[in-house]
Amino acid sequence: MRILVIEDEKKIASFVRKGLEEQGVTVTVSNNGDDGYLLAKTQPFDVIILDIMLPGRDGLSILKNLREQKNIVPVIMLTARSEMNEKVEGLNLGADDYITKPFYMEELIARVQAIARRGGGEKFNILQASDLTVNLVSRDIKRGTRKIELTPREFSLLEYIMRSPGRVFTRTQILEHVWGYDFDPQTNIVDVCVQRVRKKIFDEDNKLIETVRGVGYRFYKK
């Protein structure tokens, strides 16, 4: 497998390169949007890992131009930001997935492998567990045939833990991802939001979102 990593933060690029090469992947790294775009459109890659904020062309511009040229190489977007509109814009432009910094290498590898198995033409826009489905583009949420309405914060929280079923997320991790770094880590806002999400998705028995006592929360994919 050949992967192109377009990331201007050299420490992150090196971290990603090392992790992928340990999996037997051939990795090409570009630290500049213009150079990365030239590589992406002139050389064959199986997956592109693309940062949004880049010197030169930004990641969304690179993605838009590739899709306009009918280049269907799978693209995973990297972003340090958690705003929903930016994620939706990337997915609407043709991204196959995205991951928010900071991230675990194991998670990135799993997403690369999943996208490679599906092939370049299939989008990674639906999360599903039991009869709960979440559409990342339209933001439609259903439990069976019943439509569910979540606030942007609630949606972001549910999506965050659904993407890594079985992994335990601490309250601090959830707080930093969904609310940002400016919130007091002693606040109970995460617990309150989880309870609201549970109620709305009809998970009062905690069969999908499990409380890990003294640590945080875990999503179980049935």
Residue 178, domain CATH:
1.10.10.10
- SS3 category, 138: coil
Do residues 200 and 97 both lie within one domain?
no
Do residues 7 and 111 both lie within one domain?
yes
* Average pLDDT over all residues of the chain: 86
Do residues 50 and 113 both lie within one domain?
yes
Amino acid 163: pLDDT: 78
pLDDT band at 201, cuts 50/70/90? very high
Do residues 104 and 10 both lie within one domain?
yes
Amino acid 121: pLDDT: 41
Do residues 111 and 154 both lie within one domain?
no
Do residues 13 and 74 both lie within one domain?
yes
Contacts of 16 (CB under 8 A, 6+ apart): 5, 7, 27, 29, 49, 105, 108
Do residues 46 and 67 both lie within one domain?
yes
Q: Hey, what are 13's tokens?
A: 């690029």
Higher pLDDT, 181 or 161: 161
Alpha-carbon torsion angle 153, 156, 162, 165, nearest 10 = -90
Higher pLDDT, 138 or 7: 7
d(Cα 34, Cα 31) in Å, to the nearest integer?
9
Mean pLDDT of 182-187: 67
Do residues 39 and 8 both lie within one domain?
yes
pLDDT at 67 over 50: yes
Contacts of 131 (CB under 8 A, 6+ apart): 142, 143, 144
Out of 67, 97, 118, a domain closes at 118
Lowest mean pLDDT among 15-19, 58-62, 68-72, 100-104: 100-104
Out of 91, 118, 145, a domain closes at 118
CATH of the domain at 75: 3.40.50.2300
Mean pLDDT of 176-197: 81
Do residues 19 and 101 both lie within one domain?
yes
Number of structural domains (the chain) is: 2
**Residue range of the domain that includes 150:** 126-219
pLDDT band at 185, cuts 50/70/90? low
| Distance between first and last Cα of the chain | 31
Do residues 34 and 61 both lie within one domain?
yes
Amino acid 84: pLDDT: 61
d(Cα 160, Cα 19) in Å, to the nearest integer?
22
